[in-house]
Structure 1
């Protein structure tokens, strides 16, 4: 993990790491940094499609529930109207579509982000607390196909960060 003090430097160094062949990386910053997602090579999110499916499922489910209760389960003739009066069903259909979209969006986002995650190995690094204040970190994961401890540390040091840290499960080794 490399520490930087400037967001533009973080984006530039992340691009260098991507161009060097590293693909399994993560960056930590105290605020959203423009261009960082592109520099990390992140793909388009699936959340909008999950929200659309949730809205469709919620709308269809709400409509079918109203149809079942009004036509099959408990038909009541009100003022000579047909049992299946679709205009009266539209308000509830819309509301259940919004509910389905909201629930699918929240649950989809949590699942795709692998949340809740109350623990992550970077929390073991003492300086990582600065990621929520004024420091920017670039972390190359051990699961990266190109990862080799010595070569990756050497590469991170070539980026001229303020510090290079090895993140471990139980303890932290600091190389400065």
Structure 2
């Protein structure tokens, strides 16, 4: 028999401004981790949720540098192993290596960015328990949701009271089925 555990507490708000204000208030009270679900981008929501993670840009910089170095060194090694002396060009001709170096830099940055994005978001995750919450299927058009995820020191009553003080349209418990 499957046992039900609480995954999150989900609150529905009337508009994006109310959602941003609620996210700031709940975060200031020390609840977290938080997430928001909106039908369109809401300005200021990322800052209100505290999403200042810089993993993807740093990974893309490192991947770009590694890709550029690999592309340049690959061309140097190839020209040293198979020297072709044509028209007085030196074996290590940096200007002629720049095109491939740039392309491998872009390739390395893109692959590192995509891999980091997938790892940071724990993807692919084919089902999220929030998707099964009552009324969440209507959220694609005009609903704004704030989720407080349950953690090791999560207090359901305190989270419910904090959300109720913000006057949401509804508060829903999101269960997580554990087999």
TM-score by length of 1: 0.89
* 4+ residue runs over 4 A deviation: none
Question: What's 1:169 paired with?
Answer: 176
CA contact (8 A) 2:67 2:104 kept: yes
SS at match of 2:127: coil
SS at match of 1:169: strand
Higher strand share: 2
Query: What pairs up with 1:1-176 in 2 under 5 angstroms?
Result: 1-71=10-80, 73-143=81-151, 145=153, 147-170=154-177
**Which runs of 5 or more residues in structure 1 are unaligned?**
171-176
**Which runs of 5 or more residues in structure 2 are unaligned?**
1-9
Question: What's 1:173 paired with?
Answer: none
How many correspondences in the alignment? 168
CA contact (8 A) 1:22 1:144 kept: no
Deviations for 1:14-56, whole angstroms, at most 9, x for unmatched residues? Answer: 1111121113111111111111111112224221111111110
SS at match of 1:55: helix
| CA deviation after TM superposition for structure 1 residue 117, in Å | 1.4
CA contact (8 A) 2:134 2:172 kept: no
CA–CA separation in structure 1 for the residues paired with 2:47 and 2:90: 55
CA contact (8 A) 1:23 1:41 kept: no
